[in-house]
Amino acid sequence: MSALKVGLIGYGIAGAVFHAPLVAANQNLRLDAVVTANPQRRAAVEQDHPGTAVVDDLDALLERRPDLVVVASPNRTHYELTRALVDAGVPVVVDKPFVPTAQQGRELIEHAASKDVPLTVFQNRRWDNDLLTARTLIESGELGAVLRFESRFERWVPTPKPGWRESGGAEEAGGVLYDLGSHLVDQALLLFGPVESVYAQVDRRRAGVEVDDDSFVALVHTGGVRSHLWMSKVAAQHGPRFRVLGDRAAYTKYGLDPQEAAMREGGSPADPGWGEEPRELWGQLGTIGESRTVPTEPGRYQAFYDAVVSALRDGGPLPVDPRDSVAGIEIIEAARRSAENGTVERLEQNG
């Protein structure tokens, strides 16, 4: 069976570092064409993926009759491009955050369903090594009943970088709450289910930045777990990536999943030892009096596109239900209201 032809819209960080390498590593997919008008990025595509066409716009991409299109363009363009692809009858993968507003997400889901077009969202950090390990420990009961989940994406970027991620308003879906928070919220929902209330502090700490760069979100899940989520670009020292506190034991883990760094250096899921991390970064399970080192499960971003192939060819489930991503955006919107008004926002339902 021939490989599915994939079109990729955008060759910034999302397209070049994540999607293109993952598509290229999957023997059932072929990166057929990339949409970018930027001369430097066009040259990068030709160097990174010889034989892949580079086209100027969506119309030129659709003329090549792709089997799947990945939308990895700036967040503000996700809605319009995805709707056009659904109208063309082409299955779509949309990079996170799905769209700037939950209402746009609901509209796209309804539209795709009416056209019977597969639609999914690249919530790749569901396959981070630490998340996979924490989920295994939670489901095994070794932690007991989870009381609080602490999760951080912290970076040290004291000087703002140019570009829409740090200069656009809500319509751009920029800032750390959308960028990093869309991962943290999705992971919390995946582990502990729907949320009944949201409290947030959303701040701009660096001079000249127009979007949030240091934010905190507290969630109360309907099952009773409290998730505390930090996202920052002004963290000169980093806290633990995860701390999961149960009534029997806790799990504490430092350090980021290595897959993104590996792909930035040209690595591939086809490489031996992909997703593995050194023993010194493994987390600790136990209590103050007694704890042990827990091997970290290898991360596996490639599982996302494996599931996409299965869905398109065999009718299997899509890797991410886009309604999950809408639930995450609803929480982000509630967090923005909470920070602006100094309130605890109650959610009747999400997910």
Distance CA 108, CA 99 (A): 9
Tokens of 206: 């660096």
Domain ranges, ordered by start, for the chain: 4-124+304-316, 129-300+330-346
Query: pLDDT tens digits, residue range 19-39?
Result: 999 999 999 999 999 999 999
Distance CA 155, CA 61 (A): 36
* Whole-model pTM over 0.85: yes
Place of tokens 């140019």: 162
Query: pLDDT tens digits, residue range 249-269?
Result: 999 999 999 999 999 999 999
**CA–CA distance from 72 to each of 34, 109, 114 (Å)?**
10, 18, 24
CATH of region 4-124+304-316: 3.40.50.720
Query: pLDDT tens digits, residue range 166-220?
Result: 666 667 788 999 999 999 999 999 999 999 999 999 999 998 888 999 999 999 9
Distance CA 199, CA 228 (A): 10
Give me the residues paired with residue 322 across strands. Answer: none
Distance CA 57, CA 51 (A): 18
**CA–CA distance from 316 to each of 92, 186, 239, 311, 321 (Å)?**
15, 22, 39, 4, 12
Query: pLDDT tens digits, residue range 117-170?
Result: 999 999 999 999 999 999 999 999 999 999 999 999 999 999 988 776 666 666
Residue 320, SS3 per DSSP: coil
Tokens of 243: 């701390």
Among the four given CATH numbers 3.40.190.10, 3.30.1490.270, 3.30.360.10, 1.20.58.220, the one describing domain 129-300+330-346: 3.30.360.10
Residue 145, SS3 per DSSP: coil
Is it true that the peptide bond before 97 is cis, omega within 30 degrees of 0?
yes
Query: Is 47 exposed, middle or buried, given 0-12, 13-18 or 19+ CB atoms closer than 10 A?
Result: exposed
